[in-house]
Chains A and B, each alone.
Chain A
Amino acid sequence: MNKLLRNPLWIILFIAPALALFTVVLFIPICEAIYYSFTDYKTLYEKHFIGFDNYVKLFTNDAKMKIALKNSIFFMVFSCVTQLIFGLILAAILTNINKGRNLFKNIYYLPCVLSSAALGLMWMFVFNPKLGINKILESWGILEDCADGPGWLFDTSGFIILPIIVISFVALWQYVGQSMMLYMAQISGISNDIYEAAAIDGCTKRQAFFKITLPLIRPMVATAMSLNAIGSLKFFDLVYNMIPDKYLGGKAYVLATHLYDQAFKFSKLGYGSAIGVVLLIMCLVITVFINKVVKVENYNM
Chain B
Amino acid sequence: MENDIVRNKKPFKPVIVLLYGFLILLALVYLLPLAWVVVTSLKDDTVIMTSPWALPEKVMFENYTYAWTMGQMGKALLNSLIVSTATLILSMIIGAMAAFAIAKLQWKLSRLTLLYFMIGMMIPIHCLLIPLFVEFSNMPLLNSILVDHLHLFSEKLSLKDTRIGLIIPYVTFSLPITIYIMVGFFESIPNELFEAAVIDGCSVPHMFVTVAIPMARTGFMVTGLMSFVNNWNELLVALVFLTKEELKTLPLALSKFVGPYHTNYTQMFAAIMIAVIPTIIVYVLFANQIVDGLTAGAVKG
A-side interface residues toward B, CB under 8 Å? 1-2, 4-8, 10-11, 14-15, 17-19, 21-22, 25-30, 32-33, 36, 90, 93-98, 100, 102, 104-118, 121-126, 130-132, 135-136, 139, 173, 178, 181-182, 185, 188, 192, 195-196, 198-199, 205, 208, 220, 223, 227, 230, 233-234, 236-237, 240-241, 244, 255-256, 259-260, 263-264, 269, 272-273, 276-277, 279-280, 283-284, 287
Contact indicator B236/A237 (Cβ below 8 Å): yes
The answer on a CB contact under 8 Å between B235 and A4 is no
Q: How far is the CB of B213 from chain A (nearest CB, A)?
A: 13
CA distance A115 to B203 in the complex (A): 43
User: Which of A21, A36, A115 lies in contact with B232, CB distance below 8 A?
Assistant: A115
Name B183-220 residues within 8 Å CB distance of A.
194-195, 198, 203-205, 208
Name the A residues within 8 Å of B119 (CB-CB).
26-27
Name B97's closest neighbour in chain A (CB-CB).
A14
Chain A residue at minimum C-beta to C-beta distance from B119: A27
Q: Which residue of chain A has its CB nearest to the CB of B6?
A: A195
With A and B bound together, what is the CA distance between A110 and B254 in angstroms? 20
For residues 149 through 166 of chain B, which have their beta carbon under 8 Å from a beta carbon of chain A? Answer: none
A-B pairs with lowest CB-CB distance, top 6: A18-B98, A14-B101, A29-B131, A117-B251, A32-B131, A276-B127
Q: Is the CB of A118 within 8 A of B283?
A: no
For the complex, what is the distance from the CA of A39 to the CA of B240, rounded to whole Å? 21
Do A121 and B268 touch (CB < 8 A)? Answer: yes
Pick from A15, A113, A223, A241: contact of B97, CB under 8 Å: A15
Knowing A5-B194, A22-B175, A107-B31 are in contact, say whether A236-B120 is a contact too (CB < 8 A): no
CB distance from A8 to the nearest CB of B (A): 7
Chain B residues in 8 Å Cβ range of A98: 1, 4, 8
Q: Within the assembled complex, what's the spacing in Å between the Cα atoms of A100 and B129?
A: 43
B 125-168 contacts with A by CB, 8 A:
125-135, 168
Contact indicator A185/B295 (Cβ below 8 Å): yes
Check B61 for interface membership: any CB of A closer than 8 A: no
- Which one of A8, A29, A181, A208 lies within 8 Å of B291 (CB-CB)? A181
Task: Looking at the assembled complex, report how far the CB atom of B17 sits from the nearest CB atom of chain A, in whole angstroms.
Answer: 11
Task: Report Cα–Cα, A78/B124, bound state, in Å.
Answer: 20
Using A93-B19, A182-B298, A280-B127 as known contacts, say yes or no to A8 and B107 having CB atoms under 8 A apart.
Answer: yes
Q: Which residues of B contact A284 (CB under 8 A)?
A: 122
Which of B4, B107, B127, B255 counts the most A-chain CB atoms under 10 A from its CB? B127
A227–B301 CB distance below 8 A: yes
Question: Chain B, 254-284, contact with A by CB distance < 8 Å: what is the 0/1 string?
Answer: 1101100000010011001001100110110
Out of A10, A26, A123, A279, which one reaches B120, CB within 8 Å? Answer: A26
B244 within 8 Å of A (CB atoms): no
Task: Tell me the complex Cα distance, A131–B45, Å.
Answer: 13
Q: Give the residues in chain B near A11, CB-CB below 8 Å.
A: 101, 105, 107
B1-13: CB near A (< 8 Å → 1, else 0) gives 1111111110000
9 new A-B pairs (CB below 8 Å) besides A33-B130, A121-B257, A195-B6?
A: A5-B104, A18-B117, A94-B23, A104-B26, A114-B276, A223-B298, A263-B133, A269-B133, A273-B127
From residue A209, how far is it (CB to closest CB) to chain B in Å? 11
Asked if B70 is at the interface (CB within 8 A of a chain A CB), the reply is: no
Known: A182-B298, A279-B124. A107 touches B106 (CB 8 A): no
Q: Is the CB of A113 within 8 A of B204?
A: no
A264→B232 contact, CB < 8 A: no
If A14-B97, A109-B291 touch, does A97 touch B26 (CB 8 Å cutoff)? Answer: no
Residues in A whose Cβ lies below 8 Å from that of B290: 113
A21-B171, A26-B123 known; A117 and B16 CB under 8 Å?
no
CB pair B254–A234 under 8 Å, yes or no, is no
Give A36 to B129 CA distance when docked, in angstroms.
12
Q: How far is the CA of A218 from the CA of B124 in the complex (A)?
A: 25
Cβ contact of B30, chosen from A8, A19, A108, cutoff 8 A: A108
Inter-subunit contact B124/A230 (CB<8 Å)? yes
Q: Are B233 and A19 in contact (CB under 8 A)?
A: no
Determine the chain B residues whose CB is within 8 A of the CB of A233 once the complex forms: 124
B127 contacts A192, CB within 8 Å?
no
User: Across the interface, do B288 and A102 meet the contact criterion of CB distance under 8 Å?
Assistant: yes
CA gap between A276 and B19 in the complex, in Å = 44
- Residue in B22, B113, B171, B272 whose CB lies within 8 Å of A121: B272
Complex CA distance for A148 and B244, rounded to whole angstroms: 41
B124 with A10: CB separation less than 8 A: no
Q: Are A115 and B107 in contact (CB under 8 A)?
A: no
Q: Are B122 and A283 in contact (CB under 8 A)?
A: yes
Please report the C-alpha to C-alpha distance between residue A195 and residue B9 in the assembled complex, in whole angstroms: 12
Q: B42 an interface residue at 8 Å Cβ cutoff?
A: no
Which residue of A has the minimal Cβ distance to B273? Answer: A118
Q: Which of A116, A199, A244, A264 is within 8 Å of B133, CB to CB? A: A264
Q: From residue B36, how far is it (CB to closest CB) to chain A in Å?
A: 8
Q: Which of A8, A192, A198 is packed against the most chain B CB atoms within 10 Å? A: A192
Q: How many angstroms from the CA of A263 to the CA of B52 in the assembled complex?
A: 39
Q: How far is the CA of A122 from the CA of B33 in the complex (A)?
A: 8
The answer, among B22, B98, B235, for a CB contact under 8 Å with A117, is: B235
Complex contacts, A135 vs chain B, CB 8 Å: 52-53
Contact check, A118 vs B132: say whether CB atoms are below 8 A apart.
Answer: no
Inter-chain contacts of B120 with A (CB < 8 A): 22, 26
